C-alpha cells in the first residue's frame, strides 16, 4: 500500500488563511474551496468542524488547511459561515489518514470523515461536551425536610423529592423532575443536608481473566521488547511483524511496548479483531493501565463513543483498545500501533468505506511517525511478503512461554474411519472412533475439549430423497440451514426463516437432513458422552456480548467439559484447561471459491490448534478430514507455516495474485437479472477498451456472476481487475467511476479496492 501523491500531512495552521480547503459532509467527491471571512481567520485550525453554505442550504464541513486560489479567474467563492468548535475534533495525523483512505478506497472524503467521527460530532451542530461515563447521584443526608428550609422553596422541593424516592436518585432524574435542581442540590450540600456522588459507568465489556504482570520475560519476548523500546525511543515510523506461535506471549510484548510508550508520554492504539472474543486481552490492558484505557467496541452507545473520542483527543486517556474502526481513534501523540491477529478477515470492512484496517494502521503509523506492530501466529501472506522484502522488521517468538510444547496434531482420515453402525451412509461421521476415544480420555482426566466446526445450525442441507432437489432460500442462491433448536430452516445470508418442511415442495418426497452444523455436533456429543457438560458457542447461542463473555468465563472456570463452536472458539482464547482440540471437518473452508481459501484454512486450523496445551499439561489436536492430502492440512499437521507460505506464495506469484499484484473488485447488484448483467457487460467492455498494452500486466477477470449469484433477491455480478500496482489500476477504476453516472439507479455498483473475500 503506497501513499498516493497529494495527501501530504497537513501542518499547523498557517497564519490567517484567506482560502480554505473544506471536506463537505455530503456524498460528493473531492475537497472544496471556501473563502475565510476576516473575523474567522484568526481562530481557524485544521481539523475543525465548520458550517458552510452548500447547494441551497448549509452543510457540515471540515477545515483541512489553506487552499490555493482556483485556476479560473472571477470565480466567486462562498464564505465559511461558522466554526463549530474551538479545538479541532480531528488531529493532523488523522486528517492525513482520512484523506488517504478517501483516495485509495475511492470514497467521498466528507463521508469518510463523518464515518470516522462519533455521531455527536458528525452532524452540523456545535460541539457539546460529552457526558463523562460517570453517573451523578444525589443523596439525602437527613430524614425529613427541616423547618429552616421553609423559606427556601426550591431547596425544600428538591429535598422532598429525594426523600420521596428513597433518599437517593440520579441527578439527571431529579433535574428532570425539578428544573434547576443541580444548583439547588449544591446549596443543600453546602448546608450538609444532601451530597452529590459520582459512580463510574461500566464501558460494557466485563473483564475476563485478569492476569498480573509476569516478573520475567522469555528470552524471545525480551529480545522483541528491546527492539520495540529502541524503535519507540527513536520515535519514527517503523513497522514490525511480530510472528509468534500460539501461546508464545505476544500480548505481553504489546503490553510492554505500550508501557514504554506511556513512559515517553506517547499514546498507543491496539486493534483487535473482536472485543467480545478477546476479553482476556482487554482485561490485561485494563488491569495493567486502568483508567488510561478506552475500550472501543461496536456496541458503544453514541454518548460513550463521543466521551471516548474527546478523552483520547485531549490526551486524558492515552491508550485505545478497539476493533477495526478504532484505526481512526484520535489517540493523542500516537507512538505505537498494534494490530493483533493481523491476518484476521474482520479487519476488512465490507460496507460503505471498504477499508482494510491493518493496511490503514501502517499508513497511519507512517503519517504519525509511530511504531507499528502487526502480530500473528499465521501472518497474512501480504504481511509476510513485506517482511521478506525488508519493509517490515521481523520479530519472532518461536517457542511457547515456559517452553510448553506445541500441541501434537494428528489426522483422522474420514475416508477410512467409517461412521458408526446404523447411521445412514450419506452422513459424514461426526465423532469418529479415535476422536471419541480421545474425548473420553481427556474428560476422564478432568481436562477440557474444544470441538471446532465452522458451520452453525443442525443440518446444513435438506435434500429430497426422491428428486434430489435441495431446499434453497427464495431470495438467495444458497441452501437453507436447519436449526433444530428454533425448529426452523434459516437462510444465513438474508435471515429468512420458515417452518421445517417434511416433504419436498416439488415432488412431495421425504426430505433428508444432511450436512453437519454445530448444533448437530453438540447433540452428538451429548448422546455419545452423556456425562459430559457440553456447551455450544456460535452466533446463535452467543446472542449478546454479555452472554458471550459469560460463556467464555464459565468455560474458563471449568464448568464446561466440551465447548463446541464455530470460529468464535478459534480466536485468541487462553484456557489452560484445554488439552484436546478436535476439528470436526477441516474441509469446510477449502472449497470456497476464493484465492485465499487455502490460506484461510491454514489460519483457522492453526488458530484453533493453538488453543490446546496452553497450561501445564501438553495439548493434542485431532483433525478430521476427507482431504488429508490438501496442502494446508498437511502443513498444519507438520507445524510448517514457512513451508506452507513458500508454496502458497509461489502459486500466487505464478497466477499474479496478491501480494504480487493489486486487485480491485467492481461489484454490481440489482433486482432485475438482465439489467445487472447488461450493466456488467457494459462496464466490462469499457474496461477492455481502455486496457493498457499487455506489457503493463493489467488483467480483467469477468464480468461474471458472483460466487453467490443472488442475495436478498438481488442478482450479483462482479468484475476483477488485477495489476502490478495500484497506480496501474487507478485509470481504469477512474473510467468506471465516471461511467457510473449513466448506470440506472436500480443497479448498485461499488468499487472494492484490495478486496477481502471474493
Residues at the binding site for Zn(2+) are 464, 467, 473, 476, 491, 494, 504, 507
Binding region for Zn ion (CB under 5 A) out of 453-461, 472-480, 593-601, 647-655: 472-480
Q: Minimum Å distance from CB 244 to ligand ADP? A: 5
Containing H/E element for 722?
strand 714-723
Closest CA to 569 of 514, 521, 528, 616: 521
Comparing CB distances to ligand ADP, the nearer of 151 and 616 is 616
β-pair type (662-670, 714-723): antiparallel
718 bridge partner residues: 667, 704
First to last CA, the chain: 19
Comparing CB distances to ligand ADP, the nearer of 402 and 426 is 402
612 bridge partner residues: none
Report if residue 247 touches ligand ADP, rule: CB under 6 A.
Answer: yes
Comparing CB distances to Zn ion, the nearer of 699 and 712 is 712
Report if residue 47 touches ligand ADP, rule: CB under 6 A.
Answer: no
Q: Which three cell numbers stand for residue 550?
A: 459469560
Comparing CB distances to ligand ADP, the nearer of 462 and 581 is 581
Binding region for ligand ADP (CB under 6 A) out of 62-70, 229-237, 243-251, 624-632: 243-251
Report if residue 401 touches ligand ADP, rule: CB under 6 A.
Answer: yes
Binding region for Zn ion (CB under 5 A) out of 208-216, 301-309, 382-390, 473-481: 473-481
Q: How far is the CA of 179 from the CAs of 57, 97, 140, 195, in angstroms? A: 36, 45, 18, 18
Interacting partner of 251 out of ligand ADP, Zn ion, none (Cβ under 5 to 8 A depending on kind): ligand ADP
Report if residue 246 touches ligand ADP, rule: CB under 6 A.
Answer: yes
Report if residue 252 touches ligand ADP, rule: CB under 6 A.
Answer: yes
Q: Minimum Å distance from CB 402 to ligand ADP? A: 6
Comparing CB distances to Zn ion, the nearer of 494 and 733 is 494
Q: Minimum Å distance from CB 642 to ligand ADP? A: 18
* Pair 275, 295: CB distance under 8 Å: yes
Burial class of residue 342 in the structure, from the number of CB atoms within 10 Å of its CB (0-12 exposed, 13-18 middle, 19+ buried): buried
Interacting partner of 479 out of Zn ion, ligand ADP, none (Cβ under 5 to 8 A depending on kind): none
β-pair type (511-514, 448-452): unpaired
Q: Report the distance separating Cα 462 and Cα 500, nearest Å.
A: 9
Q: Report the distance separating Cα 417 and Cα 192, nearest Å.
A: 79
Binding region for Zn ion (CB under 5 A) out of 411-419, 448-456, 485-493, 506-514: 485-493
Interacting partner of 227 out of Zn ion, ligand ADP, none (Cβ under 5 to 8 A depending on kind): none
Report if residue 488 touches Zn ion, rule: CB under 5 A.
Answer: no
Question: How many alpha carbons fall within 13 Å on the CB side of residue 247?
Answer: 26
Q: Minimum Å distance from CB 669 to Zn ion? A: 14
Binder among 17, 120, 249, 517 for ligand ADP (CB under 6 A): 249
Binder among 21, 251, 447, 541 for ligand ADP (CB under 6 A): 251
* Pair 122, 301: CB distance under 8 Å: no
* Pair 687, 731: CB distance under 8 Å: no
Nearest-5° angle of CA 627, CA 633, CA 636? Answer: 165
Interacting partner of 122 out of ligand ADP, Zn ion, none (Cβ under 5 to 8 A depending on kind): none
Binding region for Zn ion (CB under 5 A) out of 448-456, 492-500, 531-539, 541-549: 492-500
Q: Minimum Å distance from CB 203 to ligand ADP? A: 22
Dihedral angle at the C-alpha atoms of 590, 591, 594, 600, nearest 10 degrees? -20
SS3 call for 487? coil
Interacting partner of 475 out of Zn ion, ligand ADP, none (Cβ under 5 to 8 A depending on kind): Zn ion
Of 519-578, binders to ligand ADP (CB under 6 A) are 572, 574
Q: Report the distance separating Cα 231 and Cα 261, nearest Å.
A: 10
Q: Which three cell numbers stand for residue 177?
A: 423532575
Q: Which residue has the cell 422541593?
A: 157
Of 193-212, binders to ligand ADP (CB under 6 A) are 211
One character per residue 493-512, x = contact with Zn ion (rule: CB under 5 A): xx-x----------------
Binder among 127, 332, 441, 475 for Zn ion (CB under 5 A): 475
Binder among 406, 473, 560, 661 for Zn ion (CB under 5 A): 473
Peptide bond into 703 cis (omega under 30): yes
Dihedral angle at the C-alpha atoms of 636, 639, 645, 646, nearest 10 degrees? -120
* Pair 362, 372: CB distance under 8 Å: yes
Q: Which three cell numbers stand for residue 113?
A: 470523515
Comparing CB distances to ligand ADP, the nearer of 209 and 469 is 209
Q: Minimum Å distance from CB 235 to ligand ADP? A: 26
Interacting partner of 473 out of ligand ADP, Zn ion, none (Cβ under 5 to 8 A depending on kind): Zn ion
Interacting partner of 259 out of Zn ion, ligand ADP, none (Cβ under 5 to 8 A depending on kind): none
Comparing CB distances to ligand ADP, the nearer of 22 and 281 is 281
Comparing CB distances to Zn ion, the nearer of 84 and 462 is 462
SS3 call for 531? coil
Binder among 238, 248, 460, 518 for ligand ADP (CB under 6 A): 248
Q: Minimum Å distance from CB 757 to Zn ion? A: 18
Nearest-5° angle of CA 443, CA 445, CA 450? Answer: 35
Binder among 65, 244, 577, 632 for ligand ADP (CB under 6 A): 244
Closest CA to 375 of 356, 352, 399, 358: 358
* Pair 350, 756: CB distance under 8 Å: yes
Interacting partner of 214 out of ligand ADP, Zn ion, none (Cβ under 5 to 8 A depending on kind): ligand ADP
Q: Among the residues of 149-218, which ranges form H helices?
A: 153-164, 171-177, 181-190
Comparing CB distances to ligand ADP, the nearer of 159 and 272 is 272
Of 209-228, binders to ligand ADP (CB under 6 A) are 211, 214, 216-218, 221
The DSSP annotation for 678-714 comes to HHHHHHHHHHHHTPPPGGG--EEEEEEEEEEEEETTE
Contacting positions for ligand ADP (CB under 6 A): 211, 214, 216-218, 221, 244, 246-252, 401, 572, 574
Contacting positions for Zn ion (CB under 5 A): 473, 475-476, 491, 493-494, 496
Amino acid at each position: 500500500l503506497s501513499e498516493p501523491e497529494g495527501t501530504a500531512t497537513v501542518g499547523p495552521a498557517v497564519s490567517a488563511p484567506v482560502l480554505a480547503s473544506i471536506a463537505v459532509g455530503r456524498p460528493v467527491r473531492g475537497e472544496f474551496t471556501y473563502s475565510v471571512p476576516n473575523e474567522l481567520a484568526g481562530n481557524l485550525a485544521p481539523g475543525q468542524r465548520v458550517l458552510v453554505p452548500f447547494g441551497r442550504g448549509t452543510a457540515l464541513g471540515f477545515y483541512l488547511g489553506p487552499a490555493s486560489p482556483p485556476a479560473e479567474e472571477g470565480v466567486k467563492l462562498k464564505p465559511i459561515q461558522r466554526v463549530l468548535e474551538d479545538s479541532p475534533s480531528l488531529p493532523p495525523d488523522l486528517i492525513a489518514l482520512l484523506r488517504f483512505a478517501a483516495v485509495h478506497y475511492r470514497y467521498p472524503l466528507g463521508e469518510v470523515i463523518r464515518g470516522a467521527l462519533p455521531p455527536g460530532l458528525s452532524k452540523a451542530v456545535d460541539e457539546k461536551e460529552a457526558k463523562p461515563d460517570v453517573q451523578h447521584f444525589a443523596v439525602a443526608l437527613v430524614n425529613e425536610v427541616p423547618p429552616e428550609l421553609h423559606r427556601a422553596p426550591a431547596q425544600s422541593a428538591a429535598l422532598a423529592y429525594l426523600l420521596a424516592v428513597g433518599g437517593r436518585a440520579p441527578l439527571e432524574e431529579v433535574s428532570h423532575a425539578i428544573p434547576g435542581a443541580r444548583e439547588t442540590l449544591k446549596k443543600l450540600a453546602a448546608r450538609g443536608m444532601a451530597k452529590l456522588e459520582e459512580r463510574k459507568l461500566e464501558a460494557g465489556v466485563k473483564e475476563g481473566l485478569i492476569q498480573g504482570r509476569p516478573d520475567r520475560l522469555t528470552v524471545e519476548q525480551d529480545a522483541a521488547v528491546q527492539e520495540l523500546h529502541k524503535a519507540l525511543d527513536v520515535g519514527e515510523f517503523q513497522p514490525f511483524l511480530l510472528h509468534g506461535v500460539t501461546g508464545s506471549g505476544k500480548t505481553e510484548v504489546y503490553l510492554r511496548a505500550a508501557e514504554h510508550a506511556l513512559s515517553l508520554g506517547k499514546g498507543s492504539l491496539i486493534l483487535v479483531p473482536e472485543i467480545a472474543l478477546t476479553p482476556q486481552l482487554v482485561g490485561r490492558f485494563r488491569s495493567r493501565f486502568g483508567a488510561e484505557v478506552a475500550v472501543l467496541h461496536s456496541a458503544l452507545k453514541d454518548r460513550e463513543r463521543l466521551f471516548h473520542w474527546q478523552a483520547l483527543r485531549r490526551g486524558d486517556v492515552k491508550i485505545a483498545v478497539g476493533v477495526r474502526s478504532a484505526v481512526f481513534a484520535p489517540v493523542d501523540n500516537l507512538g505505537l500501533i498494534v494490530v493483533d491477529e493481523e491476518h484476521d478477515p474482520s479487519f476488512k470492512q465490507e460496507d460503505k468505506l471498504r477499508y482494510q484496517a491493518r493496511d490503514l494502521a501502517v499508513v497511519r503509523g507512517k503519517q504519525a511517525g509511530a511504531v507499528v506492530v502487526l502480530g500473528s501466529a499465521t501472518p497474512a501472506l501480504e504481511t509476510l511478503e513485506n517482511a521478506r522484502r525488508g519493509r517490515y522488521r521481523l520479530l519472532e517468538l518461536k517457542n511457547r512461554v515456559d517452553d510448553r510444547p506445541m500441541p501434537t496434531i494428528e489426522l483422522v482420515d474420514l475416508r477410512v474411519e467409517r461412521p458408526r453402525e446404523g447411521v445412514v451412509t450419506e452422513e459424514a461421521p461426526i465423532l469418529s472412533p479415535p476422536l471419541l476415544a480421545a474425548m473420553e480420555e481427556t474428560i476422564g482426566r478432568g481436562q477440557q475439549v474444544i470441538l471446532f466446526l465452522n458451520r452453525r445450525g443442525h443440518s446444513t442441507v435438506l435434500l429430497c430423497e426422491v428428486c434430489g432437489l435441495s431446499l434453497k432460500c427464495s431470495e438467495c442462491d444458497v441452501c437453507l440451514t436447519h436449526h433444530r433448536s428454533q425448529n426452523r430452516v434459516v437462510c444465513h445470508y438474508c435471515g429468512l426463516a420458515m417452518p421445517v418442511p417434511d416433504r419436498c415442495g416439488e415432488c412431495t418426497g421425504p426430505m433428508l437432513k444432511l450436512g453437519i452444523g454445530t448444533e448437530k455436533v453438540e447433540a452428538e456429543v451429548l448422546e455419545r458422552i452423556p456425562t459430559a457438560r457440553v456447551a455450544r458457542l456460535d452466533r446463535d447461542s452467543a446472542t449478546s456480548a454479555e452472554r458471550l463473555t459469560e460463556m467464555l468465563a464459565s468455560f474458563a472456570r471449568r464448568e464446561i467439559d466440551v465447548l463446541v463452536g464455530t470460529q468464535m472458539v478459534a480466536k485468541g482464547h487462553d484456557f489452560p484447561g484445554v488439552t484436546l482440540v478436535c476439528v470436526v471437518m477441516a474441509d469446510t473452508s477449502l472449497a470456497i471459491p476464493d484465492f485465499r481459501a487455502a490460506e484461510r484454512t491454514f489460519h483457522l486450523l492453526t488458530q484453533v490448534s493453538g488453543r490446546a496445551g496452553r497450561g501445564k499439561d501438553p495439548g493434542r489436536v485431532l483433525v478430521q478430514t476427507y482431504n488429508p492430502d490438501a496442502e494446508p492440512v498437511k502443513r498444519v499437521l507438520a507445524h510448517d507455516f514457512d513451508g506452507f507460505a513458500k508454496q502458497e506464495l509461489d502459486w500466487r506469484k505464478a497466477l499474479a495474485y496478491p501480494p504480487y499484484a493489486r486487485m480491485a473488485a467492481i461489484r454490481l447488484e440489482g433486482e432485475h437479472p438482465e439489467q445487472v448483467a447488461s450493466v456488467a457487460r457494459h462496464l466490462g467492455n469499457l474496461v477492455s477498451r481502455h486496457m493498457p498494452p499487455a506489457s503493463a500486466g493489467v488483467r480483467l477477470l469477468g464480468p461474471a456472476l458472483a460466487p453467490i449469484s443472488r442475495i436478498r433477491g438481488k442478482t450479483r455480478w462482479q468484475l476483477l481487475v488485477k495489476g502490478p500496482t495500484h497506480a496501474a489500476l487507478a485509470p481504469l477504476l477512474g473510467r468506471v467511476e465516471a461511467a457510473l453516472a449513466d448506470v440506472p439507479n436500480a443497479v448498485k455498483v461499488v468499487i472494492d479496492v484490495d478486496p477481502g473475500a471474493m
